[in-house]
C-alpha cells in the first residue's frame, strides 16, 4: 500500500501554529519491560537516543503533532511500564485508545513469545475496533538477534497483525510505525464517517473527551512532555 506520507511538526513550528488539528488520536505502547517503548517515543518525538535504561514507572505520555495529506493530526502517546507490578494501572489505559503498539525485543525471544499474551490483554481491555501494530525493536543488534523471520511470519499470520522492525539507535522504522498507525486510523475514521458510525475522537476545533476514563488518565499521568 502506498502511504499517505506523514510530516512531523517540530516543537517550535507546532507552538507557532494556530490551526486546530483535524484529528486527535490516543495511542498506547505496551510490551515487556526493556523492549524499547520509551526509547521509541524519545526517538520519534525528540530525535534522541540514550543507551541508559530508566524503566518507566506507571505511565508517561507525550504529545506530538504530525501532518498527513495536508491534515493536522495530534497524537497523544501513552508510554506504559512493562513491569508486571504496574499491570493494573497500565491496562486501564487501553480503553479509549484508538491504536496500540505491542513491543518486543528482537534480541530476546522471551519478549517475542509474550506478544500473544499482550494481544490477549488488548482483547480483554481495549475497544473492539482498536488498531494494533506489532513492533520488534533493536534491529541494529543484528548479531544478537534471537527472533527469526519464520517466527515473525508465523506470528503475523496467526494473529493477523501488521509487524514492523525498528531501531532507536539508527532510527530505522520509527517514523514508519507512527505513520502507518495514523494512516490506519484516518482510513477507519473516514469509513466510519461515510457509514454514519460514531466519531468519538474526530475533532476540530479540539474538544476534550467527556469520557470519565480520559479524565482519570490525565490525573494518573506522572509526566507530561509537551513537545
Ligand atoms: N541497541 C538498541 N538498544 C535499544 C533500542 N531500543 C531501546 N534500547 C535500549 O533498551 C533499554 C530499554 O529501553 P526502554 O525504552 O527504556 O524500554 P521500555 O520498554 O520503555 O522499558 P519499561 O519502561 O521498563 O517497560 C535501554 O537501555 C535502551 O537504550 C534499540 O533499538 N537498539
Ligand atoms: Mg519505558
Average pLDDT per run of 10 along the chain, which is 227 residues long? 72 61 96 98 96 96 91 95 93 93 98 97 95 98 98 93 97 97 93 69 39 38 36
pLDDT of residue 193: 83
pLDDT of residue 18: 63
CA dihedral 198→200→204→207, nearest 10 degrees, is 150
Task: Pick the ligand that lies closest to the CA of residue 31.
Answer: 1
pLDDT of residue 37: 98
Which residue among 34, 40, 89, 147 has the greatest number of ligand 1 atoms within 8 angstroms of its CB, and so is best to mutate?
34
Q: CB–CB of 21/72 below 8 Å?
A: yes
pLDDT of residue 155: 94
Q: What's the rounded Cα separation, in Å, for the pair 159 and 116? A: 8
pLDDT of residue 211: 39
pLDDT of residue 12: 57
Atom of ligand 1 lying closest to residue 166 CA: 31
Amino acid at each position: 500500500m502506498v502511504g499517505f506520507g506523514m510530516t512531523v511538526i517540530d516543537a517550535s513550528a507546532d507552538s507557532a501554529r494556530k490551526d486546530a488539528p483535524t484529528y486527535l488520536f490516543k495511542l498506547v505502547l505496551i510490551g515487556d519491560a526493556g523492549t524499547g517503548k520509551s526509547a521509541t517515543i524519545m526517538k520519534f518525538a525528540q530525535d534522541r537516543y540514550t543507551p541508559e535504561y530508566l524503566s518507566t514507572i506507571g505511565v508517561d505520555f507525550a504529545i506530538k503533532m504530525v501532518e498527513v495529506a495536508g491534515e493536522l493530526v495530534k497524537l497523544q502517546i501513552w508510554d506504559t511500564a512493562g513491569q508486571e507490578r504496574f499491570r493494573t494501572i497500565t491496562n486501564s489505559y487501553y480503553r479509549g485508545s484508538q491504536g496500540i503498539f505491542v513491543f518486543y525485543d528482537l534480541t530476546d525471544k522471551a519478549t517475542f513469545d509474550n506478544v500473544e499474551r499482550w494481544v490477549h490483554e488488548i482483547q480483554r481491555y481495549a475497544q473492539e475496533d482498536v488498531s494494533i501494530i506489532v513492533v520488534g525493536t533493536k534491529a541494529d543488534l543484528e548479531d544478537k538477534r534471537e527472533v527469526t523471520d519464520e517466527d515473525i511470519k508465523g506470528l503475523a499470520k496467526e494473529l493477523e497483525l501488521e509487524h514492523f522492525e525498528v531501531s532507536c539507535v539508527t532510527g530505522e522504522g520509527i517514523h514508519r510505525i507512527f505513520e502507518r498507525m495514523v494512516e490506519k486510523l484516518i482510513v477507519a475514521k473516514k469509513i466510519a464517517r461515510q457509514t454514519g458510525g460514531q466519531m468519538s475522537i474526530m475533532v476540530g476545533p479540539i474538544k476534550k473527551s467527556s469520557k470519565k476514563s480520559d479524565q482519570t488518565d490525565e490525573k494518573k499521568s506522572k509526566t507530561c512532555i509537551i513537545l
